[in-house]
């Protein structure tokens, strides 16, 4: 229960709170606390109402965004289509408890349809539901899948990779940790780097800086990671045009 945990955390009156993902950050914000908050891994902080502007948050919340939503989604789907050119039906795996997934539904549908794709929507809020979601996607004849950032699948990367392979689904991820666990490919920011940068924000706040004076940072660099072993297991031949753009290729 994220709101309950957030309330318990605030009662300890820490000097600063680090929140990971949109749901915990929103839960802390809704408590109305004045404790400084540094968020990590939130895709659309302005859309969620965490700040009025990126340059001057004007409140007690600042941090590091993971992506510019429309740009990154379009690019991820383009790379996936280039890798599986004959596919025309994409599955979106989302978590209805993730406010960004709920908010971003129309964007996902619009970008997919603009690229001529049919959409299959599946959901998961628990580990067990992940298995059911992959099975449902396969049953509905999805030919590839997009899995946006969410703490649930990130907590079970080995399971997600195994499910994708079991159901013969090429999956595009946001975080490279999934690819290292056996997923096909990712295009996004380095999550470890985000946490390193968040530490510098915490340090500044502990030294007296105000969150409202620390701009929310958007990514300036994205990385493509490809797992060639998984590609071979799926019977895919990664085009050279995709390979040359990869930051890392896992053999």
Q: What is the pLDDT of residues 84-135, one digit of tens each?
A: 999 999 999 999 998 888 888 998 999 999 999 999 999 999 999 999 999 9
Q: What is the pLDDT of residues 105-114, one digit of tens each?
A: 998 999 999 9
Question: What percentage of the chain exceeds 70 in pLDDT?
Answer: 98
Contact between residue 190 and residue 173 where contact means Cβ atoms under 8 Å apart:
no
Beta-bridge mates of residue 186: 173, 225
* Full DSSP string of 158-213: HHHHHHHHHTT--EEESSHHHHHTT-SEEEE--HHHHHHHHHHHHHHHHTT--GGG
End-to-end CA distance of the chain: give it in Å, rounded: 40
The three-class DSSP label of residue 238 is coil
């Amino acid at each position: 229960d994220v709101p309950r945990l957030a309330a318990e955390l605030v009662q300890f009156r820490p000097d600063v709170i680090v929140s990971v993902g949109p749901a915990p950050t929103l839960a802390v914000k809704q408590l109305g606390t004045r404790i400084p908050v540094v968020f990590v891994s939130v895709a659309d902080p302005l859309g969620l109402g965490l700040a009025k502007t990126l340059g001057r948050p004007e409140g007690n919340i600042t941090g590091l965004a993971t992506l510019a939503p429309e740009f990154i989604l379009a690019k991820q789907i383009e790379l996936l289509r280039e890798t599986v050119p004959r596919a025309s039906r994409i599955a979106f795996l989302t978590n209805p408890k993730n406010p960004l997934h709920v908010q971003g539904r129309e964007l996902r549908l619009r970008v997919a349809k603009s690229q001529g794709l049919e959409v299959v929507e599946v959901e998961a809020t628990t580990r067990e539901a992940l298995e059911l979601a992959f099975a449902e996607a396969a049953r509905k004849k999805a030919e590839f899948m997009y899995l946006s950032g969410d703490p649930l699948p990130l907590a079970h990367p080995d399971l997600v990779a195994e499910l994708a392979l079991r159901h013969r689904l090429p999956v595009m991820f946001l975080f490279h940790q999934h690819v290292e666990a056996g997923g096909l490919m990712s295009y996004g920011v380095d999550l470890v780097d985000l946490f390193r940068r968040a530490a510098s924000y915490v340090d500044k706040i502990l030294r007296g800086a105000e969150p409202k004076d620390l701009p929310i940072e958007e990514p300036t660099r994205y990385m493509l990671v490809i797992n060639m072993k998984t590609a071979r297991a799926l019977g895919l031949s990664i085009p050279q045009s995709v390979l040359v753009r990869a930051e890392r290729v896992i053999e």
